[in-house]
């Protein structure tokens, strides 16, 4: 059974807190990992998580940042479907592998032994990154010298283009009266010259296009048709070699799919720890001392969603005092205090530092709440009936390992009846 049920998760607005913490992550990987956090009741796991957060806080103080990591899983899925990837996508793979290597190095020092053990599980993909870098430049384009064959084809294309260009310039010089504009351009992948509309009867030409007005013809001399055909063949050969390179790199990527997917899980965890560490430092949050004796002790605790408007509270209960009653005038902060207590416990059991100067918190098996107004039009329940139904459900499932938060118990009915209900509950 979950520590929080949907009603309590909504009452405490835990998802809003998770979104706030996720904003401190360096990547979408970390953001999603934070958003998926949920309270657990295993004290040992929570303490191990806080030990990692504490080490990460030390690393962040020392200037650590995860760098440019990206989620490679969508690219792996695309490569499996298409058989290749775009050059810029492969560049993202290389950049993530390189950032992962730098991250692992930064967290492998003696001051962060637990994090070092975590990054020690990352696979070494240095050779894959080198292969990609040899073929793809920093702009995300295939290098001309990516392979010996591509280098040779590119050289031949340059030479062939220069020969055709020189021949076209000679044609322009000899037939200036026929030339609309002394430039060389492309139409249909072929090198052509803009000629006046009457030129086709004066010299042998192959016309590939014309202007909208029909006054300009884009043509090549018949003597250069074979050379232009050869240039197109070279371009086709280059295109096929580029496709082969992309497919080969995608194949190498997919050969490492299992390890890379495992790396993504580890990177998500590291970035989620980074987000929580940054959150703790930015919000002056504390790592709580965990307890099993029912104590809840918060000193200078602040509601995490109120920011600078939050009024710090100090509250202690548990142990011999298993019930705490919060009283005061309307708008005096009773509900905020109740939510601060619940959120502090939920955050701690999610491995998130608590916004307080000090905290001692019991690890609860269940946290349940009845806070705020909740009417059910579909079930024809009044506010009071809705509260009673919720409270009856709470009483049926809680035990001595549970935290129950009740706001304005017995409200919505006659005060005497409400008081009697409160006492019986």
285 phi and psi angles, rounded to 5 deg = -85, 160
- For the segment 68-83, the average pLDDT, to the nearest whole number, is 95
Task: Flag whether pLDDT at 425 surpasses 80.
Answer: no
Closest CA to 353 of 279, 298, 262: 279
Q: Which two tokens stand for residue 63?
A: 């200037």
Closest CA to 358 of 297, 408, 399: 297
- Tell whether 176 is covered by a domain: yes
- 393 and 370 in contact (C-beta within 8 Å)? no
- Tell whether 344 is covered by a domain: yes
- If one counts the domains in the chain, the total is 2
Task: Flag whether pLDDT at 360 surpasses 80.
Answer: yes
- Tell whether 419 is covered by a domain: yes
Q: What is the mean pLDDT of the chain?
A: 89
Share of the chain above pLDDT 70, in %: 90
Span 369-408, pLDDT tens digits: 888 655 343 444 456 666 666 676 667 687 888 888 888 7
Residues near 271 by beta carbon (within 8 Å), at least 6 away in sequence: 25, 26, 27, 29, 30, 31, 33, 66, 69
Q: Note the pLDDT of residue 261.
A: 97
Q: Note the pLDDT of residue 207.
A: 87
Task: Flag whether pLDDT at 80 surpasses 90.
Answer: yes
- Tell whether 382 is covered by a domain: yes
Q: Which two tokens stand for residue 271?
A: 């970035």
The residue to which tokens 């962060």 are assigned: 112
- For the segment 351-361, the average pLDDT, to the nearest whole number, is 96
Of 186, 207, 228, which marks where a domain is finished? 228
309 and 417 inside one domain: yes
Of 180, 203, 228, which marks where a domain is finished? 228
310 and 404 inside one domain: yes
Q: Note the pLDDT of residue 378.
A: 40
- For the segment 335-358, the average pLDDT, to the nearest whole number, is 94
Closest CA to 397 of 353, 363, 365, 352: 365
420 and 289 inside one domain: yes
Q: Note the pLDDT of residue 176.
A: 87
- 383 and 355 in contact (C-beta within 8 Å)? no
- Tell whether 121 is covered by a domain: no
| CATH number for the domain that contains residue 354 | 3.40.50.300
Task: Flag whether pLDDT at 278 surpasses 80.
Answer: yes
Closest CA to 369 of 1, 12, 86, 2: 12
- For the segment 210-215, the average pLDDT, to the nearest whole number, is 85
222 and 305 inside one domain: no
224 and 316 inside one domain: no
Q: Note the pLDDT of residue 158.
A: 94
Span 288-330, pLDDT tens digits: 999 988 899 999 999 999 988 888 999 998 877 888 888 887 7
User: What is the crossing angle of helices 334-348 and 14-22, to 10°?
Assistant: 60
- For the segment 117-125, the average pLDDT, to the nearest whole number, is 96
- Tell whether 265 is covered by a domain: no
- For the segment 122-148, the average pLDDT, to the nearest whole number, is 96
**Banded pLDDT at 411 (limits 50, 70, 90):** low
pTM (predicted TM-score): 0.83
**Banded pLDDT at 410 (limits 50, 70, 90):** low
**Banded pLDDT at 281 (limits 50, 70, 90):** very high
Q: Are strands 205-210 and 296-301 parallel, antiparallel or unpaired?
A: unpaired
Span 232-273, pLDDT tens digits: 999 999 999 999 999 999 999 999 999 999 999 999 999 999
Instruction: Say which residue, 334 or 1, is predicted with more confidence.
Output: 334
Q: Note the pLDDT of residue 377.
A: 35
Q: Note the pLDDT of residue 409.
A: 66
290 and 219 inside one domain: no
Q: Which domain holds residue 397?
A: 284-424
Helix (H) / strand (E) element for 223: namely none
Rounded to whole angstroms, how far apart are CA atoms 360 and 353? 12
202 and 289 inside one domain: no
416 and 289 inside one domain: yes
Closest CA to 409 of 331, 342, 326: 326
Side-chain-side CA neighbours of 23 within 13 Å: the count stands at 9
**Banded pLDDT at 413 (limits 50, 70, 90):** low
Instruction: Say which residue, 407 or 413, is predicted with more confidence.
Output: 407
Please report, for residues 103, 104, 264, 280, 312, the alpha-carbon distance to residue 99 in angstroms, rounded to integers and kept in the order given: 6, 9, 12, 24, 40
155: which DSSP letter?
H
Of 228, 249, 265, which marks where a domain is finished? 228
């Amino acid at each position: 059974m979950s520590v929080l049920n949907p009603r309590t998760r909504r009452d405490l607005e835990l998802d809003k807190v998770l979104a706030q913490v996720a904003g401190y992550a360096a990547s979408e990987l970390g953001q999603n990992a934070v958003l998926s956090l949920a309270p657990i009741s295993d004290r040992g796991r929570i303490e191990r998580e806080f030990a990692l957060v504490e080490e990460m806080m030390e690393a962040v103080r020392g200037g650590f940042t995860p760098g440019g990591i990206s989620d490679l899983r969508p690219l792996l899925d695309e490569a499996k479907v298409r058989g290749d990837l775009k050059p810029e996508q492969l560049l993202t793979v290389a950049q993530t592998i390189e950032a992962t290597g730098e991250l692992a190095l930064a967290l492998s020092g003696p001051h962060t032994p637990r994090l070092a053990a975590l990054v020690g599980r990352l696979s070494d993909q240095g050779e894959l990154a080198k292969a990609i870098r040899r073929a793809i430049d920093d702009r995300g384009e295939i290098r001309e010298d990516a392979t010996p064959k591509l280098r040779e084809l590119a050289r031949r294309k340059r030479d062939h283009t220069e020969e055709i260009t020189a021949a076209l310039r000679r044609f322009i010089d000899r037939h200036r009266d026929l030339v609309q504009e002394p430039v060389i351009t492309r139409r249909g992948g072929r090198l052509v010259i803009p000629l006046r509309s009457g030129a086709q009867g004066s010299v042998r030409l192959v016309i590939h296009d014309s202007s909208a007005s029909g006054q300009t013809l884009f043509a090549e001399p018949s003597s250069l048709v074979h050379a232009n055909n050869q240039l197109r063949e070279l371009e086709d050969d280059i295109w096929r070699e580029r496709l082969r390179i992309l497919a080969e790199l995608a194949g190498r990527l997919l050969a490492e799919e299992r390890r890379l997917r495992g790396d993504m899980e580890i990177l998500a965890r590291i970035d989620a720890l980074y987000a929580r560490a940054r959150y703790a430092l930015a919000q002056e949050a504390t790592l709580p001392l965990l307890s099993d004796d029912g104590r809840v002790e918060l000193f200078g605790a602040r509601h995490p969603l109120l920011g600078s408007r939050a009024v710090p509270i100090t509250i202690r209960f548990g142990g011999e005092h298993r019930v705490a009653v919060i009283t005061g005038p309307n708008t005096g902060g009773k509900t905020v205090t109740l939510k601060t207590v619940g959120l502090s416990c939920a955050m701690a059991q999610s491995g998130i530092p608590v916004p307080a100067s000090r905290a001692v918190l019991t690890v609860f098996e269940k946290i349940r709440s009845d806070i705020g107004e909740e009417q059910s039009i579909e079930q024809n329940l009044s506010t009071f009936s809705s509260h009673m139904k919720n409270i009856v459900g709470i009483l049926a499932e809680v035990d001595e390992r549970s935290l129950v938060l009740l706001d304005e118990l017995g409200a919505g009915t006659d005060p005497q009846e409400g008081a009697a209900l409160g006492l019986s509950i």
